[in-house]
Structure 1
Amino acid sequence: MSPSRRTLLRGLAGVAGISVAGGLVSACSSSGSGSGTPSSGSSTGSSGSSGAVSGTVSFGSNYSDPGVKSAFAALCTAATAATGAQIKINTVDHNTFQTDITAYLQGTPDDLFTWFAGYRMQYFAAQGLAQPIDDVWEKIGGNFNAAAKALSTGLDGHQYLVPLYNYPWVVFYNKSVFTAKGYTVPTTWDQYLTLAKKMKSDGLIPFAFADKDGWPALGTFDILNMRINGYDYHIKLMKHEIPWTDPGVTQVFQHWAELMPYMQTGANGRIWQDAAKTLEQKKAGMMFQGTNQVAAQYVTDKADLADLDFFVFPEINPTYAQDYMDAPTDGFMLSKKAKNTDAAKAILEYIGTGAAEANFLKTDQWDVGLAQGLAAPTYDAIQKKSVTEIGKCKSVAQFMDRDSDPAMANAMIAIIQKFIDDPSTGNIATLQKSAEAQAKSIYTS
């Protein structure tokens, strides 16, 4: 019998959001270098499946964007070469995949499927919709550190996911624009607003912004909440241990309202790819989103990736400075209804190696791998900086739609879109009351 949502949430403390002290990103860099290249003496651990398997494994994928789709195809080709199992990839639009995941897993799912670490993995594992893969982890466990394993572990103590990479949510800009205009990277809230005002007076859109898909703006809420109220507050809010009517939440929306005059208008009717193009075309000065989106879009559009740079979101509350960020971890799970389990597990064993991650990263110029002893290709400047900046964090969150109940995340998507349309003080109060009412219903059912 599946646990109630409240039981599930109580068990997530310290797991949905993972402290990175000696944590995830240490697997990506050599000792003290922060370069993303392991030392020559690093151990690679398990190299993959110990025996040949046969048959075809179906792989449900949300890697629908061109860049990551190509990287995943290359990973699957290498997995076939390593295991002997054929792989049939079934790609579904990222947003559709995420929206329909429950029905998909309850119906006739693929053997393997792409998904997210932490709470979102635990939620479906607790529903009995995924198979534990402890036997896979017995072979690949030496390839990952404790933080990566924790993000792959269900509430029952079993492992359900093989992680592949993570990536930071940061503020992107074009170096050439900052140089030409004499802009400097802001480190405080006041500097951030001053820069936005200057960009607007210079005829630029200060912040490229899009939220038609619903989820992108959740990241802005996350970072404002962690900058103003801290990581622990944020995670407690995600679990409804703090009410959505709390003054701390009010401060988040009030600060966001200060940014709205400088954010690209019409966001609820724009997809994030089009917002990224505005940055590429140097019509916008900045964009807050993940490297997995912005840098990947530059590659897809054949834009000048070397001109792209980023800075971590500025400090608001000195108590928390720039100590936290969203750095989501993605990976792969085994469906409860998998038809070719042996071959599927062999593929997961291969994916959980440094060799597999290195192969994936040959064409991925925006994520950073998680396997220890990763013999990665040379990371570009974005990836090197990602490793460094994630490594500076005291804790990283997984993103609102991964750290909270799926129903609550969906509720917040609608609420934030209403805020974008009307960021007035009166509407903020109304939206907070709506969020709290929905949270009470969701977390007590």
Structure 2
Amino acid sequence: MNARSKIAASVAGLIIGGLALAGCSGGGGDAGSGEVTGTLDFYTDKAAWKPDFESLNDTSGEAADITLKTTGYSDANQYDAFIKQSFRTAKSPGLFTWHTGESLKELVDEGLVAETTDIWKKAVDEGWVSEDLRDSYTYDDKQYCVPMNIAYWIMFYNKAAFADNGVEVPTTWDELNTAAETLKGAGVTPYYQTSVLFTFQWFEHLVASTDPDLYEGLTTGEVKYTDPEIVDIMNVWRDEHEDGWFSDAGSTTDPAVGLKQGDYAMINFGTFFAGNLAGAGMTTDDYGMFAIPAVNSDLETTPVAVESGPLCTAENSKQRDLGLAYAEWWMSPDAQTAWNDAHGDVAFNPKATVSDPALAEIGEQIAGDGYSLYDRFFEAMPTEIVTTAIEQFGAFNANPGDPMPYLEKIQATADKYWAEQE
């Protein structure tokens, strides 16, 4: 039997024995038919991934006697509207994809998603998932939903650009700065940047790896974007701009193509970007990956941004019990091995087998000692603040200078948002 159909007897036993556990992981109530096997209606905003999800049906059918009937949406706004409307009907989904951070908190606060505390406890106890990742799904000391996938935001680099200029993979912030100086001196632009959408990743790393508490304070409003500590960090970013370390923010070249043709030597992106590079014709002979060193060398661990998309079950769904049973199976090593075979990327479960050796290596590295995870800026901050910040970081990339005017605009949105929460 192949990897997708061969399920260890121990996991099968866990699923069968754990169905009652999954069925009581929520907050109670009358929802759910009590059925924990059968066909589960699954809704996702990742329509392109529908074949990947349904390719697991043989595996989940054998292990848990559950298969997915997937409905995919390509329009994110249409999807969000459908899901929110479904909570007011009898058709609320037994399983659906959503977003972590403020978007998930809103559903939790309204009692719309099923609790998964017991599922998480078992997964952590089994060594299937990290405590750091559980924190991203925790509200008032309870867990909701399970991770669909994760992506670590790391640095990809052009191996030829490094080798031709005698640059080694950096392991400290000073070494990274030396690499950038060496590359720039040789006429190679060190880093990719843009002025649209993915404008936040350098900011998040500078803040989180200087002082994790400072980053956490931004998520709660206790720290202001105009505070001196944030301004100092932005001035580091400005100095790097002035040194010519970043690519043209207005370039329309595909980022993967840009790395391939040497427009820049490094690009900070999620591990899923390995698929983009493959699409551009690059292999791991052409590119490498490394965790970005912490700015503050005194930190006990190196913070790494993690992006995680959840699988959720509606609390009032008729398929609530079935959805929770599938969620418990989904956390297992065999489920995640099958998912990785189908979709690729690092795995949130360290006991899963990752098909790409390079992704497996960096996934094992970051999941090991010496690293800690924090939520990516896009999910960690309230949506209104994210929207303004992305615009202002993009404007800063296009016209770097005094960071205060950009930070003041972000803080104005933050002030308005946090005042409305009181």
Aligned equivalents of 2:238, 2:281: Cα separation in 1:
34
Question: Any idea what the Cα deviations from partners look like across 1:271-315, whole Å, max 9, x if unmatched?
Answer: 8xx2122113343211111212x2121234452134321233244
Q: Which amino acid aligns with 2:261?
A: Q
Aligned equivalents of 2:316, 2:218: Cα separation in 1:
34
Residue 111 of structure 1: how far off its partner (Å):
3.6
Aligned to 2:5: none
Aligned to 1:196: 180
SS class of match (1:320): coil
Residue 221 of structure 1: how far off its partner (Å):
0.9
Aligned equivalents of 1:79, 1:394: Cα separation in 2:
32
Are 2:150 and 1:184 equivalent residues in the alignment? no
Aligned equivalents of 1:186, 1:140: Cα separation in 2:
34
Are 2:310 and 1:331 equivalent residues in the alignment? yes
8 Å contact kept, 1:315–1:321: no
Match of residue 419, structure 1, among 396, 419, 422? 396
Aligned equivalents of 1:70, 1:298: Cα separation in 2:
21
SS class of match (2:416): helix
Task: State which drifts further: 347-356 or 138-147.
Answer: 138-147
Match of residue 295, structure 1, among 274, 278, 281? 274
Relative to 1, partners in 2 of residues 1:244 and 1:101: Cα closer, same or farther, differing over 3 Å? farther
Q: Which amino acid aligns with 1:180?
A: D
Aligned to 1:265: 248
| Higher gyration radius (CA) | 2
Aligned to 1:436: 411
Q: Which amino acid aligns with 1:107?
A: Q
Match of residue 199, structure 2, among 209, 217, 223? 217
Aligned to 2:358: 381
8 Å contact kept, 1:133–1:334: no
Relative to 1, partners in 2 of residues 1:395 and 1:130: Cα closer, same or farther, differing over 3 Å? same
8 Å contact kept, 1:199–1:205: yes
SS class of match (1:288): strand
Relative to 1, partners in 2 of residues 1:92 and 1:443: Cα closer, same or farther, differing over 3 Å? same
Aligned to 2:189: 205
Normalization by structure 2: what TM-score? 0.78
8 Å contact kept, 1:53–1:85: yes
Aligned equivalents of 1:174, 1:204: Cα separation in 2:
11
Are 2:215 and 1:234 equivalent residues in the alignment? yes
Residue 403 of structure 1: how far off its partner (Å):
1.6
Match of residue 334, structure 2, among 347, 350, 355? 355
8 Å contact kept, 1:361–1:377: yes
Aligned to 1:317: 296
SS class of match (1:368): coil
Question: Any idea what the Cα deviations from partners look like across 1:397-441, whole Å, max 9, x if unmatched?
Answer: 11112222222222211221221222211xx11122222221111
Question: Any idea what the Cα deviations from partners look like across 1:27-71, whole Å, max 9, x if unmatched?
Answer: xxxxxxxxxxxxxx9x7586435576234513214374xxx6654
Q: Which amino acid aligns with 1:113?
A: F
Structure 2: tracts of 5 or more residues without a match: 1-7, 20-34, 87-91
Q: What are the within-5 Å matches in structure 2 for residues 19-98 of structure 1?
A: 47-48=14-15, 53-62=37-46, 64=48, 71-76=52-57, 78-93=59-74, 97=76
Aligned to 1:20: none
8 Å contact kept, 1:231–1:395: no
Residue 83 of structure 1: how far off its partner (Å):
4.2
Normalization by structure 1: what TM-score? 0.75
8 Å contact kept, 1:126–1:154: no
Question: Any idea what the Cα deviations from partners look like across 1:320-360, whole Å, max 9, x if unmatched?
Answer: 38721212333311134645334323322321222101111
Relative to 1, partners in 2 of residues 1:394 and 1:174: Cα closer, same or farther, differing over 3 Å? closer
Residue 193 of structure 1: how far off its partner (Å):
4.2
- Percent identical across equivalent pairs? 20
Residue 246 of structure 1: how far off its partner (Å):
0.6
Relative to 1, partners in 2 of residues 1:211 and 1:132: Cα closer, same or farther, differing over 3 Å? farther
Aligned equivalents of 2:359, 2:123: Cα separation in 1:
28
Relative to 1, partners in 2 of residues 1:211 and 1:422: Cα closer, same or farther, differing over 3 Å? closer
Match of residue 150, structure 1, among 109, 113, 134? 134
Aligned equivalents of 1:377, 1:435: Cα separation in 2:
39
Residue 210 of structure 1: how far off its partner (Å):
3.4
Aligned to 2:3: none
Relative to 1, partners in 2 of residues 1:146 and 1:282: Cα closer, same or farther, differing over 3 Å? closer
Relative to 1, partners in 2 of residues 1:173 and 1:276: Cα closer, same or farther, differing over 3 Å? same
8 Å contact kept, 1:148–1:163: no
Aligned equivalents of 1:444, 1:100: Cα separation in 2:
29
Residue 153 of structure 1: how far off its partner (Å):
4.7
Residue 145 of structure 1: how far off its partner (Å):
5.2
